Structures are given as C-alpha cells and as structure tokens.
C-alpha cells in the first residue's frame, strides 16, 4: 500500500484533541493505571491514542495538571549517560506535583550489588514508580515482573518507547495525524528503530526502514509491527536502499550508527553506514514539506550533515521538547492522574 499525500500547511491549526469520546479516553487510561511500559507493544492501539491525546493536552494547558501527581515518588536508575531523558522525566514529575530521585548506576550495573527481585521488593514499599535506563532489556522486564509499582523503560538495548511516543507527537503536531504518512527511517535497525516501527504501526503510518545488510531490525519486532499494522491500515516496508525509503517521505529519521554499548564497533561500522548518511541530496528525494528527525545526541557529519541537522526541515529540538510532554502523559496514565482532560474539547483545536 502506498502512502497517501500529506500536505503541510503552515497556517494549519494542528491536532484536534479527542480520540473517540470522553468514555473511550477514560476507559483506555483506566486500563493503563498501574501497568508497566517496557515496550511500545505493551500498549493497545487505543491506549497509544489516549496517551498521544493526553500529551497534546498537557503541552497546551500544563496548568490544568499541576497537582495531578501530588506526593508521588519516582526513582530513576540509569546505567547509561543521559541528558534529555533524565531532565525531562525529573521536570515532568516535579511539575505534576511529585518528586524524582536519581540513582547513578553507570559504575554499578543493576543486579550486581543486590538481586533485582530484592531491589524491586524494597523499592515498591517506598516509591510510586520506577524508571530504568539499562543496557539489557531483560533487566527492565525482570524488574517489572517483580515490582508491584509501574516500571518504565527509559531506554534498553531493545527499545526506547518514550522517545518514539514523543517523536510521533511531533509528527502529529506537524501533520495533524500520523495516519497515512510516509515515515522513513534510515540507518541502524537499533532500539530506537524498533520503537518507531511499533509506534508507526499503532498510529497507521506507512513505515519504510532502510538499513545495511546485517543491521536490520530484530525479527520479533518486525513481526509484531506487521501484526499491529494489519489492524490500523499502516504498512511496514524493509529495504536496503536509503533512496527508495526516503523517496516521497513526509518524515525522514536517522540515529547514530553506533549505539551506546557498541562503541568498539565504531571503526568497522563507519564505512558500512556512510551511504546511509542523511544529507541534502538524500533529503531532496523526500516531499518538499518533509521534516528531518533525530533522537539526539547526533554525531554531526556522520549519520547526518550539519546542513540537514541545522536546516529548516529539522525538528530535532521540537522532538526533544516533546519528551517532556509525552512523559508527563505516560506518568499520568500509569499513576492514575489522567482522570480527565479539563475542558480540552471546549478549547477546540490547538496551533501546531
């Protein structure tokens, strides 16, 4: 199935709040209360729509949610360095009335000093929610299995769900909806790519992924994304040719060629990924209104040139900003603070 034509109108008023009805929104958010977010696939199509709606509402009217999570405690255990993830999670819960506690695990992997089940059974007595940024996805799923409080994946070797939700929030701001857009991802079939594929599928986008041979996304993610796409009318297309993936695209996305934990492969990967660099020539194959996206941090003039990263099509800092709003929505749903969107429908449409 080909992607439908999407035209970006700079005078457009943006996203309309409201997925189906107040009842549908409340039912979906109620089902998420107390749940974990280890993977984008943990969400149903309706739950993803509800989180997206809430994220737009929180961004438009933050004052309506200022005390929604009063006295809630969130602990963050990070094995990997972070700028956007740490600051946006801390700012998110603080501005919702709760509190964040950060534990630096960069020198001591989780489970090394104390078993994950023992940690979980301690933490659940004190905290309302656990945020983990780890090397191994199994660390996150084991903690979630053992803990009575929600666990959020803030990045693992398999997925980066919070990033993908913020990214598609950004797409909705630009195009009104992600349904039917041509979304192209070029580069390594890594954790970010996995979550983007799943989010694109849930929102009915046509997702084209171009990777070098041997660097494709994991089969389990491909199969799950295709399964979801069959429900939503989206499509998943895997390619090795970056030009084919980008031709006609509404959004072009790339990430670093060497993710954290794979630094020892950087020299080997560099020549393999050189043809996948997003530069002005590659962007010229996309739609004139196409946006460029990157999760950051970027290796300038490696996977993307300065001309594209700093150019007029780039929305990378909009994506970074939306991490805050998307994560507020996630916290609100998992902690039961999303009981209503005050006056959202009366306020009508927002400017993008």
pLDDT, mean of residues 184-192: 98
> CATH 3.40.50.1370: does it fit domain 22-159+322-340?
yes
The residues pairing with 283 across neighbouring beta strands, listed in sequence order, are: none
Q: What tens digit of pLDDT does each residue of 246-277 get?
A: 999 999 999 999 877 677 788 899 999 999 99
CB 40 within 8 A of CB 161: yes
Per-residue pLDDT at 13 exceeds 70 = no
Alpha carbons 104 and 112: distance in angstroms, whole number: 14
Over pLDDT 90: what percentage of the chain? Answer: 85
Structure tokens at 110: 């989780």
- When pLDDT is cut at 50, 70 and 90, the band that residue 341 belongs to is low
The reported pLDDT for the residue numbered 20 is 54
Q: Which residues contact 5 (CB under 8 A, 6 or more apart)?
A: none
Alpha carbons 304 and 278: distance in angstroms, whole number: 5
| C-beta neighbour count of 111 within 10 angstroms | 18
Per-residue pLDDT at 313 exceeds 80 = yes
Alpha carbons 74 and 90: distance in angstroms, whole number: 9
Q: Where does the chain hold its CATH 3.40.50.1370 domain(s)?
A: 22-159+322-340, 163-318
Looking at 2.60.40.10, 3.90.1110.10, 3.30.1330.60, 3.40.50.1370, the CATH number of the domain 163-318 comes to: 3.40.50.1370
Q: What tens digit of pLDDT does each residue of 48-93 get?
A: 999 999 999 999 999 999 999 999 999 999 999 999 999 999 999 9
b (16+ CB within 10 A) / e for 270-281: eebbeebbbeee
The reported pLDDT for the residue numbered 16 is 40
Q: Decide which of 180 and 349 is more confident.
A: 180
Computed over every residue of the chain, the mean pLDDT equals: 91
pLDDT, mean of residues 296-300: 97
The reported pLDDT for the residue numbered 4 is 38
Per-residue pLDDT at 153 exceeds 60 = yes
User: End-to-end CA distance of the chain, in Å?
Assistant: 28
């Amino acid at each position: 199935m080909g992607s439908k034509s999407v035209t970006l109108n700079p005078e457009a008023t943006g996203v309309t709040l409201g997925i189906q009805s107040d009842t549908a929104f409340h039912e979906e958010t109620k089902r998420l209360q107390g749940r974990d977010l280890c993977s984008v696939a943990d969400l149903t199509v309706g739950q993803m729509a509800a989180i997206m709606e809430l994220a737009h509402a929180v961004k438009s009217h933050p004052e309506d949610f200022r005390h929604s999570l009063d006295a809630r405690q969130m602990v963050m255990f990070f094995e990997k360095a972070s700028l956007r993830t740490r600051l946006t999670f801390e700012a998110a819960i603080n501005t919702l009335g709760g509190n964040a506690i950060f534990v630096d695990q960069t020198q001591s992997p989780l489970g090394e000093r104390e078993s994950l089940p023992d940690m979980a059974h301690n933490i659940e007595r004190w905290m309302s929610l656990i945020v983990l940024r780890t090397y191994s996805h199994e660390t996150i799923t084991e903690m979630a299995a053992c803990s009575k409080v929600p666990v959020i994946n803030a990045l693992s070797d398999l997925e980066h769900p919070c990033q993908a939700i913020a990214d598609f929030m950004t797409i909705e701001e630009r195009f009104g909806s992600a349904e039917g857009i041509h979304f192209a991802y070029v580069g390594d079939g890594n954790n970010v790519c996995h979550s983007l594929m799943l989010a694109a599928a849930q929102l009915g986008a046509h997702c084209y992924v171009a990777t070098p041979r041997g660097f494709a996304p994991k089969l389990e993610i491909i199969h799950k994304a295709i399964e979801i796409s069959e429900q939503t009318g989206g499509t998943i297309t895997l390619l090795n040719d970056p030009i084919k993936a980008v031709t006609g695209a509404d959004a072009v996305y790339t990430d670093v060629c060497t993710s954290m934990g794979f630094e020892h492969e950087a020299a080997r990967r560099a020549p393999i990924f050189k043809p996948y660099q997003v530069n002005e020539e590659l962007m010229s194959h996309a739609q004139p209104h196409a946006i460029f996206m990157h999760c950051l941090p970027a290796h300038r003039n490696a996977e993307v040139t300065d001309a594209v990263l700093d150019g007029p099509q780039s929305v990378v800092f909009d994506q970074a900003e939306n991490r805050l709003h998307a994560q507020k929505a996630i916290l609100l749903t998992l902690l039961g603070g999303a009981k209503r969107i005050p006056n959202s429908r009366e306020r009508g449409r927002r400017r993008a």
